[in-house]
Amino acid sequence: MKTIIVISWRNVWRNKPRSLTILLAIAVGLWGGIFATSISAGMMKQRFTSSIETQVSHLQVHNPRFLKDDNIRYGILRADQIERVLAQDSSVKAFSSRTMVNGMIATATLTKGVRILGINPVQEAATTRLSTTVISGTYLTAGGRNPVLIGKKLADQLRLKPGSRIILTFTDVEGEIVSASFRVQGIIRTTHSMLDETQVYVRQRDLQTLTGDESIINEIAVLMHNIDQVNPAVEALRKQFPESEIRFWGQISPDLLYMNEMAGATMMVLLVIIMLALAFGLLNTMMMTVFERTRELGMLMAVGMNKVKVFSMILLETTFLTFTGALAGVILSGITIYFTSRTGIDFSGVGGNTLSDYGISATVYPELFPGFAENIVLLVLLTSVLSALYPAMKALKLRPSEAIR
């Protein structure tokens, strides 16, 4: 077997230009596929992390009727007890209680529908890092009368700046229409530009006072230290508070769950297509090799080389070509990913605004999905075997006497 291995390796380099061409094709193709996959993986992770830490959180608590009717009057039952349990749970990183109502924002120039979130500024800053998104003005403070935070896109549409006055109109817990004057304290810009256009943030106590119920809480968002702690936390809360609807992030945002499950599979399909295209080039190269060495193969079979050894020699030549090119591609992609994962790739010039609509920053940090390396090895091995089968079968069909002539 050692002799077959040595012969196969030498045969690969008998025609150096042709071998180097196919090696380069495999290396560049695999590098492109892996690097594109790493960019996609970086985007998916960034969107997932951004959605969890700034919007969805790991789990949320609601009154079941609020999820169906979206009416402020349906507050969470025993909300104060839930908050105490969460505060004592060491697996909980942070939580934020919110009072939520749909309403209208009005200025002298425009009126627009918005979602009004009454938040505890300290809790919200710890849960969603909202305080770090302020780009103009200041974050919500304890002082002042009816301060409000609005998104950059909404501020541009309404021509607002810090200090501007707006009117918020909504219904209270009794169904009566309430209007109140608020002053813009800060303008924020998050990675979710669509939310920046449709949500405004006010202090929870201000909104509760205006709605007529100073204890109403419609949502509690909870952030865990580790995603593996989410399911046990959900089950524990459901047992303690069966009257409340406890949902984990996948139930709150099914598209996020689907994206998380399908992203890796989608990227592997891309690599399979690339390797399939390379396999045809490899197949063509090996077919040419077999036809050029027809007499040589006939002589080897005539002096006693059996069909198993002939098949093994063709298979090994194909494997050497594939794995050498694949190794070069993996090394090249590893170097590329290593540096770009630290510096990031700026896509602001080609789609930064579009990316922000989906919760992805314009600067993407490439990385690979878990278990991706093992799949690459299997894919390369499968490609080499499939590419070698037909040429090897053609070699086995040779008749030594005819091949020599």
d(C-alpha 255, C-alpha 56), whole Å: 12
pLDDT at 372 over 80: no
| pLDDT score at 354 | 58
pLDDT at 360 over 70: no
d(C-alpha 307, C-alpha 405), whole Å: 20
* For residues 100-126, average pLDDT: 93
**Residue at token pair 């091949």:** 403
Q: Minimal CA–CA distance to 380: which of 290, 300, 296, 282?
A: 282
pLDDT category, 206, cuts 50, 70, 90?
very high
Q: 174 is written with which tokens?
A: 């009794």
- Taking the CA atoms of residue 138, residue 141, residue 143 and residue 146 in that order, the dihedral angle to the nearest 10 degrees is 80
| pLDDT score at 383 | 81
Kindly report the average pLDDT of the chain as a whole number.
85
pLDDT at 118 over 60: yes
Q: What is the pTM of this model?
A: 0.73
32-55 pLDDT tens trace: 888 888 888 888 888 888 888 888
pLDDT category, 359, cuts 50, 70, 90?
low
Strand 219-224 and strand 92-106: pairing?
Answer: antiparallel
More confident residue, 196 or 351: 196
pLDDT at 108 over 90: no
d(C-alpha 371, C-alpha 379), whole Å: 13
| pLDDT score at 268 | 75
pLDDT at 99 over 70: yes
| pLDDT score at 404 | 67
CB burial readout 59-98, b (16+ within 10 A) else e: bbbbbeebeeeebbbbbbeebeebbeebeebebbbbbbbb
Would you call 292 helix, strand, or coil by DSSP? helix
* For residues 251-266, average pLDDT: 77
pLDDT at 133 over 70: yes
DSSP for 32-83, please give it.
HHHHHHHHHHHHHHHHHHHHIIIII-SEEEE-HHHHHH--TT-PPTTHHHHH
CA 172 to centroid of chain Cα atoms? 39
| pLDDT score at 135 | 93
137, 192 Cβ separation under 8 angstroms: no
136-178 pLDDT tens trace: 999 998 788 899 999 999 999 999 999 999 999 999 998 899 9
d(C-alpha 257, C-alpha 304), whole Å: 60
270-309 pLDDT tens trace: 778 877 887 887 888 777 777 777 777 667 777 667 777 7
Cite the beta strand spans of 138-269 per DSSP E: 147-151, 165-171, 177-188, 199-203, 219-224, 245-248
The values of phi and psi at residue 236, to 5°, are: -65, -45
pLDDT at 403 over 60: no
pLDDT category, 401, cuts 50, 70, 90?
low
d(C-alpha 286, C-alpha 267), whole Å: 28
The values of phi and psi at residue 118, to 5°, are: -90, 115
26, 322 Cβ separation under 8 angstroms: yes
| pLDDT score at 217 | 95
* For residues 239-257, average pLDDT: 90
